[in-house]
């Protein structure tokens, strides 16, 4: 890896890693994501985060299968790549490619111009989530800290 390559560990913080995110629909879950991010990152607007994530979902679901979604968007307000990891309280229909409901979300918010980093991160995240036993470990986490530790291990 080159020295300026970006890693999951460098963008994910314990404060944006949460188990049991409430929401009974894709829209409600993404509203909770936006609310949570805006409460931690006060430089970002909740409505803008939500609008950007919903606009991206309209292009095609970010549900990659096996209960996993990787919602992501670019934003003018975002000055660095932000990663967030959530498990949901209940499985949510996400129009995923396999039509399975989603209960694990890795959310990526990136600056408008961060194209190669964005693609590199999506690739790293998808690779991790391609391992069913890793996904089972995430789902079994009983605390936010355990979820964070599992993801960055």
Which residues lie across from 102 on neighbouring strands?
A: 92
Of 19, 72, 82, 84, the active-site residue reads 72
All residues at 6 or more sequence positions from 61 whose CB lies less than 8 Å from its CB, including other chains? 69, 94, 95, 96, 97
Task: State yes or no: is 118 an active-site residue.
Answer: no
Q: Tell me the DSSP string of 82-117.
A: EEEEEEEEEEE----TT---EEEEEEEEEETT-HHH
* Catalytic machinery residues: 72
């Amino acid at each position: 890896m080159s020295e300026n390559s970006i890693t999951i560990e460098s963008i994910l913080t314990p404060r944006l890693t949460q188990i049991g995110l409430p929401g009974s629909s894709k829209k409600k879950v993404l509203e909770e994501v936006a609310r949570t991010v805006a409460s931690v990152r006060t430089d970002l607007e909740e409505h803008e985060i939500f609008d950007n994530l919903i606009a991206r979902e309209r292009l095609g679901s970010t549900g990659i299968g096996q209960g996993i979604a990787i919602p992501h968007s670019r934003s003018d307000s975002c000055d660095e790549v932000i990663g967030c990891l959530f498990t949901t309280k209940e499985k949510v229909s996400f129009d995923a490619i396999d039509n399975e409901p989603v209960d694990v979300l890795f959310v990526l918010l990136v600056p408008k111009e961060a194209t190669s980093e964005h693609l590199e991160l999506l690739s790293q995240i998808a690779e991790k989530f391609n391992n069913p036993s890793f996904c089972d470990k995430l789902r079994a986490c009983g605390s936010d800290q355990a979820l964070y530790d599992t993801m960055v291990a």
